C-alpha cells in the first residue's frame, strides 16, 4: 500500500503580529516560535495584500509586492519574497474584501506554501485552492511545522467537499479540470432527495450539471455541502482581472482556445478609467502608468478575438469622460434575470441578487475555466435569513440597514463567512429595486457568499421600464421567478424591525464597525470633521441614491447653504443611464449649484483610482461606498454612511444627518 502523501514546509513562519516591533523584527531576519497568546492582525483585506496599484501586474512580479499594503507600513518591496517564509499566520477574516486572485497569487509566488488564519474568507480560500496555495484554520500545525514535521495532505482536505478536496490534492483547479475532462476524475453525483429548499438552493438545483457530455442540467434537490459544477447564465470580468484570466486561459487551453458561447460573456472597462488623474508621481516613475494602460489594451484585444461584448469608455464632445457603466449597475440594467446564475470577477457581483439571481464573485482561474466550460464549481452554502418588518423612518435608508446588520455579533465574529444572506419580509415590499441592491451588494462585506431577494412585481416593473420589455418578455421574466419553499431550513433567522433602525456610520477600518451617528457624535464632541464627501460607486451611485443626494442638497440650497469651505463633495454616477436620469430630473444643476464635482461612471475612488481619494493620513472622508478597509480609498480615514448623510455632511463640514443639518441651519 502506498504511503499517504505528505508535505514538508519551510520552517520559517511569518506571524502577522499586532506588535509592530515583533513584525518588523521578523521581516529583518528574526524567527518567532508559536505562542498561542500572541495577538495576530485580523481582517487583513486583499487590498492590503495587493493594493490596487499592485494589481496592474498580472504575473510573478506580484510576488515582489505581497502584503505591501499591510497596515503599519512595515512590509516593503520584496519583504515576503526575500524572507523565505513558508507559512503566514494571522487572525480572523484573512482575505476579506475584493475577490482579486492577485492576493493569494502574490503570496504563493513569494514562496509561501500555507496560510493559517483563525478564519478565512470564502473567495480568498477558493482562489487559494485554485492556484495551489494551502490554507488552514488549525493553529496546532504551526509548532509541528517549526519542528520540521511532514504534514499529511489529508489535514488540508479534511472537511472539504469532494471537488474542493480533489482540487487541493491535484494542486489547483486547472490540474483538476484536466483530469476531469480526461475522465480521470468525476465530480460526485448529486443524490439529495426532494426536500424543501431555500431560494438559493432552488436556483442551484436547476443549474446542476448532471451530464457534462450532453450539457443536461437540473437536480431533484440540493442541500448545504453538496458539491458540483453549475451552468452559468452570465459571465463577466473587468480590466483589472481580464488580462490575468486571459493569460491563464491561453496557457491552459491553448493559444487558439475559444470562449464557449461568447454571447453570454461580457467585459467592462470600469475600474481604472480615471487612474491617470490621481496616479502619484512615484508610481508613474515606476512605469505603472504604462502597466495599467496595458490592462485595458489586453482586455480589448481579448474581446475582439473572442467576440465578447465590451462595455468600454465614453467620449463626449471628443473627450474621454468616463466609462459606460460600473459592471454591477449594468448587470442589473441589462443582463441579469430572475433565477439566473451570474458569475463575475468582482466580489460585489452579489449585487445582482436584487433581481432574484444567484450571483457571486470569483477570481481569474475560476473565470478562465468558466470561459471554456461555461460552468463553475459550487459547494451549496448555508443560508441566514433576514426578515425585514415594517417601514423605515424618514431619513433612514437601506445603507443604514446594512450597516446595522453588519455590526451584529454574528458577522463581527465571522459567522457569516461563506453564507448566503437572504432578505425577506414585508419590509422588502417598501424598498425600491435600487435600495434592495444596496442590501445584496453589501452581503459580501459580511464575508457572505452572496445576498439575494426573491423577485416580485417591483423587479418585473423595473425590467419592463428599464429594458422596454414586451408583454411576452415580461411574462417570461415573471416565469423565471424562483421562490423559497415553505419549510426550508436556514442556518439562522434574524428579524429586523425597520422602524427601529437609525442613521448609521461604519467607523474606519471595516464595514462591520457600525455605530449610530448619535453615538458617534457623543464620542466626538463637535462631531467628526471631514475633508471629503464621496457619493458614488456601484453601491452609492444608483438612481435612488441620486434622488437622496438631490433632496438634501436642494433643501440646503433653499436655506442658502452650499458645500462647506475646505470640503470637497464628489458625486459619481454608476452608469451613463443613471447620469441621464439625473440630468432629466434636473439634478445636475442642483449638484453643481451646491458645489459638488460631478464624475462620470467608473469605480474611481472606491478602489483608489479616481477623483475623491485621500492623499494624506490626516484626511477624513465620509463615503457612500461599500467598504473602508485600510488604504482602499487612500491613506486617510473613511467613514461609511448613506447618501443622505454624505450629502448633509458635505454641507455641514462634519458627519451629520439631514435632520441635524436642517435643525442647526
Compute the distance between CA of residue 334 and CA of residue 313 in angstroms, rounded to an integer.
17
326 within some domain? yes
The domain total for the chain is 3
CATH code for the domain in which residue 524 is found? 3.30.499.10
Per DSSP, the three-state class of 343 is: strand
**The pLDDT of residue 665:** 72
Q: 162 and 45, same structural domain?
A: yes
Q: 33 and 121, same structural domain?
A: yes
407 within some domain? no
Output b/e per residue, 213-241; b: 16+ Cβ within 10 A. eeeebebebbbbebbbbbbbbbbbbbbbb
Q: 548 and 654, same structural domain?
A: yes
Q: 253 and 162, same structural domain?
A: no
State which of 279, 314, 332 marks the end of a domain: 332
Phi and psi dihedrals of 659, rounded to 5? -65, -45
Distance between first and last Cα of the chain = 82
Does the pTM surpass 0.95? The reply is no
Range of the domain at 259: 235-332
Q: 648 and 544, same structural domain?
A: yes
Per DSSP, the three-state class of 192 is: coil
Q: 328 and 250, same structural domain?
A: yes
DSSP string, 60-125: GGGGGGTTTT-TTS---TTHHHHTT-SEEEE-SSBTBS---THHHHHHHHTT--EEEESSB-HHHH
**The pLDDT of residue 3:** 62
State which of 150, 170, 190 marks the end of a domain: 170
Q: 282 and 138, same structural domain?
A: no
346 within some domain? no
Q: 160 and 284, same structural domain?
A: no
32 within some domain? yes
342 within some domain? no
Q: 95 and 244, same structural domain?
A: no
CA distances from 359 to 199, 339, 461, 466 (A): 12, 10, 21, 20
State which of 152, 170, 188 marks the end of a domain: 170
Q: 521 and 639, same structural domain?
A: yes
**The pLDDT of residue 1:** 46
Q: Which residues of the chain have pLDDT under 50?
A: 1
CATH code for the domain in which residue 83 is found? 3.20.19
Q: 259 and 159, same structural domain?
A: no
311 within some domain? yes
Q: 660 and 511, same structural domain?
A: yes
- 265 in Cβ contact with 238 (< 8 Å): no
Q: Centre a 10 Å sphere on the Cβ of residue 159 and count the other Cβ atoms it contains.
A: 9
559 within some domain? yes
389 within some domain? no
Residue whose entry in the numeric block shows the C-alpha cell 428579524: 495
**The pLDDT of residue 2:** 56
Amino acid at each position: 500500500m502506498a504511503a499517504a502523501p505528505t508535505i514538508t514546509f519551510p520552517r520559517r513562519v511569518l506571524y502577522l503580529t499586532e506588535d509592530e516591533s515583533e513584525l518588523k523584527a521578523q521581516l529583518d531576519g528574526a524567527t518567532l516560535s508559536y505562542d498561542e497568546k500572541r495577538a495576530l492582525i485580523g481582517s487583513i483585506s486583499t487590498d492590503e495584500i495587493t493594493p490596487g496599484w499592485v494589481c496592474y501586474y498580472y504575473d510573478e512580479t506580484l510576488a515582489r509586492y505581497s502584503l505591501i499594503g499591510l497596515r503599519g507600513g512595515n512590509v516593503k518591496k520584496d519583504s515576503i519574497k526575500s524572507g523565505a517564509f513558508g507559512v503566514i499566520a494571522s487572525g480572523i477574516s484573512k482575505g476579506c474584501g475584493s475577490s482579486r486572485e492577485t492576493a493569494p497569487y502574490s503570496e504563493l509566488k513569494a514562496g509561501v506554501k500555507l496560510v493559517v488564519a483563525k478564519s478565512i474568507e470564502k473567495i480568498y480560500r477558493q482562489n487559494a485552492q485554485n492556484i495551489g496555495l494551502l490554507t488552514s484554520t488549525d493553529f496546532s500545525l504551526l509548532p509541528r511545522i517549526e519542528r520540521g514535521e511532514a504534514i499529511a495532505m489529508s489535514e488540508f482536505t479534511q472537511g472539504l467537499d469532494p471537488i474542493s478536496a480533489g482540487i487541493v490534492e491535484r494542486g489547483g483547479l486547472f490540474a483538476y479540470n484536466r483530469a476531469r475532462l480526461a475522465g480521470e476524475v468525476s465530480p460526485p453525483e448529486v443524490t439529495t432527495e426532494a426536500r424543501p429548499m431555500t431560494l438559493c438552493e432552488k436556483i442551484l438545483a436547476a443549474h446542476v450539471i448532471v451530464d457534462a457530455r450532453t450539457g443536461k442540467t437540473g437536480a431533484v434537490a440540493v442541500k448545504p455541502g453538496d458539491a458540483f459544477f453549475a451552468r452559468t447564465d452570465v459571465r463577466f470580468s473587468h480590466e483589472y482581472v481580464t488580462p490575468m484570466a486571459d493569460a491563464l486561459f491561453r496557457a491552459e487551453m491553448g493559444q487558439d482556445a475559444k470562449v464557449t458561447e461568447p454571447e453570454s460573456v461580457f467585459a467592462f472597462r470600469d475600474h481604472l478609467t480615471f487612474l491617470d488623474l490621481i496616479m502619484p508621481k512615484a508610481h508613474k516613475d515606476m512605469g505603472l502608468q504604462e502597466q495599467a494602460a496595458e490592462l485595458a489594451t489586453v482586455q480589448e484585444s481579448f474581446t475582439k478575438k473572442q467576440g465578447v461584448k465590451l462595455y468600454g469608455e465614453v467620449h463626449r464632445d471628443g473627450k474621454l469622460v468616463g466609462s459606460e457603466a460600473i459592471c454591477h449597475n449594468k448587470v442589473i440594467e441589462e443582463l441579469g434575470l430572475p433565477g439566473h446564475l451570474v458569475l463575475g470577477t468582482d466580489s460585489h457581483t452579489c449585487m445582482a441578487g436584487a433581481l432574484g439571481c444567484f450571483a457571486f464573485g470569483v477570481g481569474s482561474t475560476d473565470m478562465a475555466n468558466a470561459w471554456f466550460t461555461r460552468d463553475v464549481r459550487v459547494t451549496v452554502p448555508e443560508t441566514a435569513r433576514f426578515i425585514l418588518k415594517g417601514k423605515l423612518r424618514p431619513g433612514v435608508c437601506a445603507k443604514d440597514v446594512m450597516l446595522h446588520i453588519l455590526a451584529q455579533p454574528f458577522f463581527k465574529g465571522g459567522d457569516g463567512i461563506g453564507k448566503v444572506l437572504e432578505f425577506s419580509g414585508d419590509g422588502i415590499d417598501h424598498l425600491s429595486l435600487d435600495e434592495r441592491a444596496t442590501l445584496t451588494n453589501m452581503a459580501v462585506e459580511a464575508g457572505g457568499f452572496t445576498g439575494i431577494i426573491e423577485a416580485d412585481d417591483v423587479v418585473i416593473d423595473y425590467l419592463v421600464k428599464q429594458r422596454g420589455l414586451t408583454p411576452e418578455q415580461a411574462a417570461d421574466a415573471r416565469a423565471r421567478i424562483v421562490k423559497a419553499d415553505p419549510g426550508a431550513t436556514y442556518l439562522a433567522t434574524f428579524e429586523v424591525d425597520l422602524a427601529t433602525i437609525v442613521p448609521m456610520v461604519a467607523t474606519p477600518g471595516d464595514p462591520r464597525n457600525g455605530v449610530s451617528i448619535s453615538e458617534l457624535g457623543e464620542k466626538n464632541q463637535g462631531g467628526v470633521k471631514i475633508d471629503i464627501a464621496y457619493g458614488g460607486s456601484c453601491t452609492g451611485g444608483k438612481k435612488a441614491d441620486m434622488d437622496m443626494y438631490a433632496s438634501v442638497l436642494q433643501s440646503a440650497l433653499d436655506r442658502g447653504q452650499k458645500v462647506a469651505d475646505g470640503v470637497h463633495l464628489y458625486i459619481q454616477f454608476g452608469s451613463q443611464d443613471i447620469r441621464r436620469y439625473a440630468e432629466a430630473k434636473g439634478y445636475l444643476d442642483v449638484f453643481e449649484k451646491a458645489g459638488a464635482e460631478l464624475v462620470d461612471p467608473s469605480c474611481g475612488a472606491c478602489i483608489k483610482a479616481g477623483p475623491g481619494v485621500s492623499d494624506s493620513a490626516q484626511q477624513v472622508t465620509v463615503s457612500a461606498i461599500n467598504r473602508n478597509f485600510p488604504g482602499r480609498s487612500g491613506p486617510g480615514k473613511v467613514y461609511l454612511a448613506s447618501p443622505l448623510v454624505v450629502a448633509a455632511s458635505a454641507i455641514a463640514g462634519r458627519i451629520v444627518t439631514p435632520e441635524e443639518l436642517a435643525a442647526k441651519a
